[in-house]
Chain A
């Protein structure tokens, strides 16, 4: 279950680590404003990345989302935005 306090930067860092692992480089070297296309990801990696994000964030995601939001910045902003209404809808504890 996702921690409701997950931040946009946590999502971005997760994606940097995932892509860094694929490219065999340090996560910090994965630029958040570079188009995914430039990383040379193959279709299997794109599908795995989206599937793991789905599992972690408990969201149903289109496999083509990376083409609509083509950078880590854009994706993390979009995903954070989709989680936000759910998180904000949590009942306030008395």
Chain B
């Protein structure tokens, strides 16, 4: 490990808990029934899918992209409330699916579901030691938490590279890493909204595409890249609409100030994605194994 802070390296547990431990009941009011808290996927041939099916479509996309169908063992880094793990084992025949989260609330909820073949661990990817190689790795909506707002671009790249090195080492052939993350678009880091950085996602810093590319250089080849920022605008709008329709219950659960904070965050995010200030990257990364082209 480096001189970077051991407490926050690769994702601040406090920052994660600040956001995700608000209340399971609160999130269940406005997320879809699978409790998937990340951007849904709408394809051009089915633009009118309801949120829950668009979330399912997103999970399916990442499962197939990573090569997880029928796999013996897979890893989900930042598993949230477990919708991906449940779909891997319940629908796609994965025999053992390991999920990592820093949120105790998410981990205990997931354990309470008692899903066969699902193993949840409350630990960072930096502390994780696999007991066997993974046939596929998926990470959706966790990468945003790996770096810190005060880090320079080279420092961020160093953290991201450590992540890619681990994934590369943990993957067995022909497994892939499928990854979804919000990233800076036209917004410059110094213009980032302080409200979101301090009130909603403390200790989090978005990557830039070029940082991801630099950090994975020589370890992974980019098999697919999409920027589906309008999907995230639409997801935030759907969440906002659902929160508004259950507003009274939400206020009873967490109080007016928290509900207002989330409404503002969802509105700002929706507009930020529409404007292209921030983007939503979906990447499929294939480990470089060939000795024909030795990584430098």
B271 and A47 form a contact (CB under 8 A): yes
- Give Cα distance in the complex from A50 to B240, angstroms: 14
- Whether a CB of chain B sits under 8 angstroms from the CB of A67 is yes
The residue among B193, B266, B272, B277 with the most chain A CB atoms within 10 A of its own CB is B272
Question: Is chain B's binding surface mostly helix, strand, loop or mixed?
Answer: helix
B237 and A64 form a contact (CB under 8 A): yes
A43 and B277 form a contact (CB under 8 A): yes
A43 and B264 form a contact (CB under 8 A): no
Choose one: A47, A62, A67; the contact of B268 (CB below 8 Å). A47
B244 and A43 form a contact (CB under 8 A): no
- Give Cα distance in the complex from A6 to B268, angstroms: 28
- Whether a CB of chain A sits under 8 angstroms from the CB of B140 is no
- Give Cα distance in the complex from A51 to B266, angstroms: 13
- Whether a CB of chain B sits under 8 angstroms from the CB of A46 is yes
- Whether a CB of chain B sits under 8 angstroms from the CB of A81 is no
B237 and A63 form a contact (CB under 8 A): yes
- Whether a CB of chain B sits under 8 angstroms from the CB of A3 is no
**Which residues of chain B in 268-296 are interfacial with respect to chain A, using CB atoms and an 8 Å cutoff?**
268, 270-272, 274-275, 277
The residue among A46, A50, A63, A67 with the most chain B CB atoms within 10 A of its own CB is A63
B271 and A63 form a contact (CB under 8 A): yes
Known: A62-B237, A63-B237, A67-B274. A47 touches B244 (CB 8 A): no
Contacts of B19 in A (CB 8 A): none
B193 and A43 form a contact (CB under 8 A): yes
Contacts of A44 in B (CB 8 A): 193, 268
Choose one: B237, B241, B272; the contact of A43 (CB below 8 Å). B272
A51 and B267 form a contact (CB under 8 A): yes
- Residue ID in chain A nearest B277 by CB atoms: A43
Known: A43-B275, A47-B267, A47-B268. A63 touches B240 (CB 8 A): yes
Sample (17) of A-B pairs whose CB atoms are under 8 Å apart: A43-B193, A43-B268, A43-B272, A43-B277, A44-B193, A46-B271, A47-B264, A47-B268, A47-B271, A50-B267, A51-B267, A62-B237, A62-B241, A63-B237, A63-B268, A64-B271, A67-B274
Question: 17 more A-B contacts (CB under 8 A) besides A64-B271, A67-B274?
Answer: A43-B193, A43-B268, A43-B271, A43-B272, A44-B193, A46-B275, A47-B264, A47-B268, A50-B267, A62-B237, A62-B240, A62-B241, A63-B236, A63-B266, A63-B270, A64-B270, A64-B274
What residues of chain A have their CB less than 8 Å away from a CB belonging to chain B? 43-44, 46-47, 50-51, 60, 62-64, 67
